[in-house]
Amino acid sequence: MNIEQGKIPEEAKDELQRRGDVTKCPICGSQVDAEAYFCATCQNYFCFHCRARVLESELQLQCVNQDCDYYGKLICSACEDHHEKDEPPSLYLEPEDGYWPAWLLVVLVVGAVIWYFTSFWWGAGMAIVLYAGGGYGMQRAGLNLFGKTRQVEYQRKSEVHTCISCEEPVKVLRERAT
């Protein structure tokens, strides 16, 4: 029988059995209630299903379906069904710098050459017209002179935790410590 990691076969879910002696604490061995997931003697939490110790730094989950046998019980991250859900992509606009300093340098050189052969006013006027008109034309033609914005899209995924017994969403009591 080929079982995917982290998945419980459908026929096995009907016979979902808790592991170990459910009336003893898996950490210190003292008597506890069969429905307990906390030992008052050693002050430790343990998974209701697999009976493994659950530390404060680990992911802690609890079923919220009142019709489930695991309702309100602490479940560790190794026992729960973990799924990834595709979320809508995150979109934002990112500015791109243009090549206007190089264009300004070219226009100033052309304006200086015109000023040298004619007058200052002709050189300054042609530089302004060339910078604005030529830049606008090149920007419209697709050359990025004055800057653009581009749309950036990031794919997002989120974790969905479900109960191993009823497959309903669970409540996350404590996230993993990073």
Burial of 44 (C-beta count, 10 Å sphere; 0-12/13-18/19+): middle
**Residue 104 is assigned to a structural domain of this protein:** yes
- On whether both 113 and 164 belong to a single domain, the answer is no
- On whether both 166 and 122 belong to a single domain, the answer is no
**Residue 91 is assigned to a structural domain of this protein:** no
- On whether both 79 and 162 belong to a single domain, the answer is yes
Taking each helix axis from N to C end, the angle separating 120-129 and 100-117, rounded to the nearest 10 degrees, works out to 150
**Residue 64 is assigned to a structural domain of this protein:** yes
pTM of the model: 0.50
In a structure prediction context, what are the per-residue pLDDT tens digits for the chain, which is 178 residues long? Answer: 344 444 544 554 455 677 777 788 888 888 888 888 888 888 888 888 888 888 888 888 888 888 888 888 888 878 776 778 888 988 888 888 888 888 889 999 999 999 999 999 999 999 999 999 988 888 888 888 888 888 889 898 888 888 888 888 788 777 665 5
Domains identified in the chain, total number: 2
Domain of residue 69 covers 10-85+158-174
- On whether both 73 and 127 belong to a single domain, the answer is no
Q: Which amino acid is at 99?
A: Y
Quick one: which of 14, 36, 5 has its CA closest to 166?
A: 14
Walk across the sheet containing 60-63 and list its strands: 74-76, 60-63, 170-174
